[in-house]
Amino acid sequence: MLFEGLELVSALATLAACLVSVTLLLAVSQQLWQLRWAATRDKSCKLPIPKGSMGFPLIGETGHWLLQVFSKIFSHEALESYLPKIQLVIQDTLRAWSSQPEAINVYQEAQRLTFRMAVRVLLGFSIPEEDLGHLFEVYQQFVENVFSLPVDLPFSGYRRGIQARQILQKGLEKAIREKLQCTQGKDYSDALDILIESSKEHGKEMTMQELKDGTLELIFAAYATTASASTSLIMQLLKHPAVLEKLREELRAQGLLHGGGCPCEGTLRLDTLSSLRYLDCVIKEVMRLFTPVSGGYRTVLQTFELDGFQIPKGWSVMYSIRDTHDTAPVFKDVNVFDPDRFSQARSEDKDGRFHYLPFGGGVRTCLGKHLAKLFLKVLAVELASTSRFELATRTFPRITLVPVLHPVDGLSVKFFGLDSNQNEILPETEAMLSATV
């Protein structure tokens, strides 16, 4: 226990040092960038330069423009087009899980699933399975070293992260070039298509480097937090079989489990998922009790008072999502997993504006929140209708919060496929079905 405590302290210290270093670097560089533009004003003209931010060095306000394009990527129309593809990826994955004779590590496999979803659905890449597996391993190495100290020394985490990023970008460039050359036979516009078309609408042709950076950012946005939430969802359905059964009852009532069978591809639509009230409650409760990230950072725009103290304009502050959920007076029995707290009869989240914020709040709320909720809902529907699963260990694992919330050493679970009558499918039959997909 002592060594585990020391490891946690070391990890937190490393993360804190990294965040402080990055924050200071960004603050200094932005001020210098602002001075650079102020120095270029025409001194013969008495008029002032326009008010507002000049953005960050080199990239300027490109980030703000990209955020406007991400809004299109996660629009209602875009999500509707992603839905059948997401369902297919999840169905293939659950079929593969249930074909395994041994238990699987859910957290690791959830990471693989969300990576696959990002590459196949969001980016529309047709990468061979072997290459996709290799790319996933490299991506994991990249993510594991994201919060390393920025010291470029041999064998350092920073160096490993840079090397992984270079390999990733090489693989992504190959996939992008193949995608740009093959435009036939597509039945939907993926996120990368929208990104490219939006840039053309703004009179800008994206460079290959911008495309590689954009694709890497999209994968990152869809990867760690969604894998964390997916693992928490499966763990809570294991812990609370009554919740799983109530979810199945709702699916039957809505005609999505015909004779006990699973929803076929194409039967799920956004309006269908929106009508599943209890499903929505389950996802909300998972995100309340097991928020993937601890909080976020904001810059104070004007001085305000908090508990008798002033918080000056310009300060950087951190808000804690988990502490907010744990201390919000609107939630009763905060440590209990209770999806019905979000039912229409109780609506505990409606009694205040900022008591429930798993995706942040305000204008900087997570742009991908609707995609994340869509993915979790489809996963829950498929789990409830096509799989039986059980914990492969005596007890549930402990939870760690770094870098995102996840079970220590993963979550070991054995999956079993179900046929149209909710009967268990033998592993050898499941393997044959997987081989035909």
Binding region for heme:
366
Q: What is the C-alpha to C-alpha distance for residues 281 and 48, in angstroms, rounded to an integer? A: 53
* Percentages of the chain per state (helix, strand, coil), in multiples of 5: 60, 10, 35
Q: What is the C-alpha to C-alpha distance for residues 152 and 331, in angstroms, rounded to an integer? A: 46
Tell which residue, 131, 252, 122, 125, has the closest CA to residue 182.
125
Q: What is the C-alpha to C-alpha distance for residues 411 and 407, in angstroms, rounded to an integer? A: 6
Q: Which two tokens stand for residue 227?
A: 């894998």
Orientation angle between helical segments 191-201 and 62-73, nearest 10 degrees: 130
Binding residues: 366
Q: Which two tokens stand for residue 120?
A: 């196949």
- Tally of CA atoms within 13 A in the half-sphere of 222 that contains its CB: 28
Q: Is 334 exposed, middle or buried (0-12, 13-18, 19+ CB in 10 A)?
A: middle
